[in-house]
Chains A and B, each alone.
Chain A
Amino acid sequence: MGESDTHKVDSSVAYIAEERDAGVPLTIRQTTLWGDVVRRFVRNRAAMLGLSVLVLMVLYSTIGPWIRPYGFADQDFSIAHQLPNAQHWFGTDMFGRDLFVRTAMGGRVSLLVAFAATAVVLVVGVLYGSISGFVGGKVDDMMMRFVDVLYGMPYLPFAIILLVILGSGVVPMLLALAIVSWLTPSRLVRGQILTLKQNEYIEAARALGASRARVVWRHLLPNTLGIIVVAMFLEVPAMILGEAVLSFLGLGISAPNASWGTLAEEGWKALRSYPWLIILPGLFISITVLAFNFVGDGFRDAIDPRTKESKV
């Protein structure tokens, strides 16, 4: 764009000439950060692919069970262990239950638990971390020592104890996952806020009379969004896997209900003779996790205005 440092205050000629050179119309629309984020995201192919896969997953989980005329718990031993065919698109399991319907039902549980737990984790973690980092001093010390103590607890036994206390089901499951998982995001956000707090633009905002809420909301959080988003897209697959682990241990969704975790667990028992039973939920889990990573990367790039937009 060249150095347009024309210092004369009264020379209106300078910028008008420049406008003509640049060939832009005199009035242009004011863009916002979020408008730009969406525009950049849409241009990123991998991210859009990931996003479409995720949308398909959600659609499949939602309406999948109604597409085929089978109930998720209908047993028929005469058709057990079938590979995908015209009647049973994804095959059947050892009880002859239709896997297309069961995988969709499993997706509902897995995705719901993962999304809800991630939402809880992020809200709690971001709030906790930003308060700790922003207030600083003694409050920060106490809040972070509390996190340290929780960090010291082993993840799995802690979750198991929680599930024993809360009972089994979708809501206790997501609560247990959230309670053991909010620590890392809170530390990330706190660290980021501590660094950003030192920036002069924060002081500039304070000198302008900006309220604390405004400083946090308009200046600090947008600059931490990058890591929050990445944390979120790492968190969701971790939640899917966490749910699978707990289901595997018999603490999750109980039969005949299913999640991707319980489906994989059932398939694992017949690994030698019927490998399809574990391949199918395994595929769903890994494709979903991969898609989340693509979307996460794309979103992180889109949020940072400094990333190049040169890709056509």
Chain B
Amino acid sequence: MDTVVATQPGSSADASGTSVSPLLVVRNLVKRFPIMSGVIFQRIVGHVHAVEDVSFEVGEGETLGLVGESGCGKTTTGRCILQLHRPTSGSIVFMGQELTQLKGQGLQDLRRNMQIVFQDPYASLNPRMTVGTIVGEPLAIHRMGTRSQRRERVRELLHVVGLNPQFTNRYPHEFSGGQRQRIGLARALALNPKLIICDEPVSALDVSIQAQMLNLLESLQKELNLTYLFIAHDLSVVKHVSDRVAVMYLGKVVEIAPSNELYRNPRHPYTFGLLAAIPIPDPKVERRRTHKMLEGDVPSPTNPPSGCVFHPRCFRAQEICSQQVPPMENSGNGHSTACFFPLEPGEN
């Protein structure tokens, strides 16, 4: 199965036109989880195909949005990049080094440069640790600075994410969801990473707090030259923050394009269906819209459909779609689609 590179590095269509070699390159990433059965003698009865042949790259200082329904493999992709899950196959090159083969100290050194912000601000902070200990833990693990230097750095980090540096002695349960998410962000920033994987960082927050968090992420990106892989299921949030967006369906990337381009000219029928489902906050317009809704449910990832995984739900599907896997094809402007019958501009 060959996958064409989604975007050429250095193609000036991107916002980050200056970066020559991308910070993160993911090639043909596959992650399958075995399903075990049996009481004493366990055997593998099948696999969950969480991530199937995913390729993309992220340039330095760029934000790549990763969207899709729940269970489509967004989060698993993120965890594979961080080596929290070891990928089944494929390659992940970060800062010029192949991560999948890396172990021990080499991996440890690279971990300094990539961090994660989690979805659930309640589960992602250890309830028995004070904020100071939580934010200072990365520094302690990597043995950076003396005790008092670390304490100073923690205060600085809390200030950077907009929290009162006096909060170091408090416990996570004393904070609101938005504040906890800031603590998680401060922890992620502690080692001055280059890449931060934001795994649905705002979906657990109130809408009013979401905007604050997104603005914070944005201003930090500019200030600290951060690169984000922004995982979300909320298309309007992704549109707001991303330079480019990759759409995932059932473990596969079906479309990658610069953010504006994707929202204006979706080419994959799935992307089109997703965008059509976004409500417009104007009752008059909303009433006049004709919805082309996605029908049916996402098939089980233990037994994905043949050919194009989207064909059972696709309104443009033809015979070939169930027989062959559509390759990623670049239609210019860094816009790639994996579809035999993509929508043409203006067709929607």
Contact = CB atoms under 8 A, between A and B. Distances in A.
Contacts, number: 128
Interface in B140-188: 141-142, 151, 159-160, 162-166, 168-169, 171, 173-174, 176, 178-179, 182, 184, 187
A208 B111 contact: yes
Given A9-B216, A9-B220, A22-B166, A207 B132 contact: no
A300 interface: no
Interface in A195-234: 199-201, 203-210, 214, 218-219, 222-223, 225
State the majority secondary structure of interface residues on B.
Answer: helix
A5 B209 contact: yes
Interface string A247-258: 000000000000
Interface stretch (B52-60, B116-124, B332-340): B116-124
B128 A222 contact: yes
Interface string A30-65: 111100000000000000000000000000000000
Interface string B121-138: 001111111101100011
Contacts of B127: 223, 305-306
Contact of B132 (A6, A7, A30): A30
Contacts of B125: 201
Contacts of B171: 305-306
Nearest to A224: B128
Query: Chain A, interface size: which category?
Result: 35 or more
B141 A210 contact: yes
Contact of A200 (B123, B159, B163, B174): B123
Interface string A175-213: 000000000000000000000000111011111111000
Which of A145, A201, A223 neighbours the largest number of chain B CB atoms within 10 Å of its CB? Answer: A201
B212 interface: yes
Contact of B123 (A29, A199, A210): A199
B84 A9 contact: no
Interface in A1-21: 1, 3-9, 12, 14-15, 18-19
Contacts of B223: 9
A192 B159 CA distance: 35
A19 B120 contact: no
Contact of B118 (A3, A24, A204, A306): A204
A148 B49 CA distance: 35
Interface in A257-312: 303, 305-306
A86 interface: no
Nearest to A12: B159
Contacts of A18: 164, 166
B128 A204 contact: no
A19 B123 contact: no
A210 B126 CA distance: 14
Contact of A209 (B141, B160, B164, B169): B141
A303 B107 CA distance: 35
Interface string B32-63: 00000000101000000000000000000000
A282 B179 CA distance: 54
A28 interface: yes
Which of A6, A7, A29, A306 neighbours the largest number of chain B CB atoms within 10 Å of its CB? Answer: A7
A255 B333 CA distance: 95
A241 B151 CA distance: 49
B162 A206 contact: no
A204 B184 contact: yes
B82 interface: yes
A148 B187 CA distance: 42
A9 B187 contact: no
Interface of B: 40, 42, 79, 82, 84, 107-108, 111-112, 114-116, 118-120, 123-130, 132-133, 137-138, 141-142, 151, 159-160, 162-166, 168-169, 171, 173-174, 176, 178-179, 182, 184, 187, 191, 209, 212-213, 215-216, 219-220, 223
Interface of A: 1, 3-9, 12, 14-15, 18-19, 22, 24, 28-33, 138, 141, 145, 199-201, 203-210, 214, 218-219, 222-223, 225, 303, 305-306
Q: 4 tightest CB-CB pairs across the interface, nearest first?
A: A200-B124, A209-B111, A305-B171, A222-B128
Given A203-B118, A207-B82, A207-B116, 19 more contacts: A3-B179, A6-B162, A7-B219, A8-B162, A18-B164, A30-B132, A32-B130, A141-B40, A199-B126, A200-B119, A201-B125, A204-B184, A204-B187, A206-B84, A207-B84, A208-B138, A208-B141, A209-B112, A223-B126
